[in-house]
Amino acid sequence: MTRFTGKTALITGGTSGMGLATAHRLIAEGAHVIITGRTPQRVDQATAVLGPRALGVVADTADLQALDALMNAISTRFGRLDVVFANAGVGAFIPFADITETDFDQTVDVNVKGVFFTIQKASPLIAENGSIVINASWTLHRGNGVLTLYSATKAAVHNLARTLAADLAPRAIRVNSISPGYIDTPMYPAAALGETEAAAITGRIAAGRFGRPEEIATAVAFLASHEASYINGQDLVIDGGLVNAILA
Ligand SMILES: NC(=O)c1ccc[n+]([C@@H]2O[C@H](COP(=O)([O-])OP(=O)(O)OC[C@H]3O[C@@H](n4cnc5c(N)ncnc54)[C@H](OP(=O)(O)O)[C@@H]3O)[C@@H](O)[C@H]2O)c1
């Protein structure tokens, strides 16, 4: 498929997990892709693996000066963006009573402020008929004791997708979010869980297993493509049947 031939995509947090898988997917379909991350070595490694149609930029999404430098680099090299996957995020799986102000600030800085300003600063570069996809989480749809802070940040960015869909409508830019379920990535590696915990989780998923980053990448590519031209302001839950399937 060549849905992204001649297109340019920015993927924040593209050095591993869903961001990297999406970079592979969009490049395979013809795109030039800019990936970011905070760790220079990981950015270099991922860029080398992705090949000549990838540009790696070290940029912390919580740092507005770094975002300005990122957008300048994109403007100079490509002049425009067709796709933004605001994917960079951090996990904060801490019981409500134990969450400190530092935990709060660090999580909100990346998961909300980082997403907000990535899109605001990328916006002037996004071409007509462009598409923005925000990586939220299944946790915004369900209450879960150790996920209060994380879930709140993800609910916030889904709301951002809705309001920006309206805000950017005059420029024909669509904005959607995705809510992945349990996906096997460095943030939540299935192999690091004990057997009992892994079984407890997979027992709640209709698919009976964790998702793979590639299964998220196909959905992001769809939402970012012209094939999703009438999908706007939505959240797509990609969870193997975790949120809505009640297993007997
Ligand atoms: N895994 C799951 O089960 C799951 C489920 C639902 C939603 N999500 C969401 O999916 C997104 C991707 O996570 P993942 O599971 O694919 O995890 P991952 O493999 O750990 O990827 C996270 C990526 O974000 C980068 N990153 C983190 N903070 C950043 C920052 N401030 N600025 C720029 N880059 C940053 C990381 O690189 P550096 O560390 O080098 O910066 C890495 O490239 C996150 O938003 C996460 O909340 C994950």
Domain ranges of the chain: 8-237
Long-range contacts of 243-248 (CB under 8 A, 24+ apart): 243/138, 243/141, 243/142, 243/179, 243/181, 245/205, 245/206, 247/203, 247/204, 247/206
Tokens standing for 15?
């050095």
Q: 162 in ligand 1 pocket by Cβ < 6 Å?
A: no
- Cβ proximity of 238 and 216 under 8 Å: yes
pLDDT given at position 145: 81
Mean pLDDT of 135-147: 93
- Kindly list the distances between the CA atom of residue 112 and the CA atoms of 103, 128, 149, 152, in Å, as whole numbers in the listed order: 13, 25, 11, 9
pLDDT at 247 over 90: no
Using CA positions, which residue lies closest to atom 45 of ligand 1? 89
Q: List, in sequence order, every residue forming a beta bridge with 235; answer none if it has no partner.
A: 177
Mean pLDDT of 231-247: 95
Nearest CA to ligand 1 atom 19: 17
Residue 40 has pLDDT above 90, yes or no: yes
- The hierarchical CATH code for the domain 8-237 is 3.40.50.720
Give the whole-number percent of the chain exceeding pLDDT 90: 93
Instruction: Tell how far the Cα of 170 is from the centroid of ligand 1, in angstroms.
Output: 31
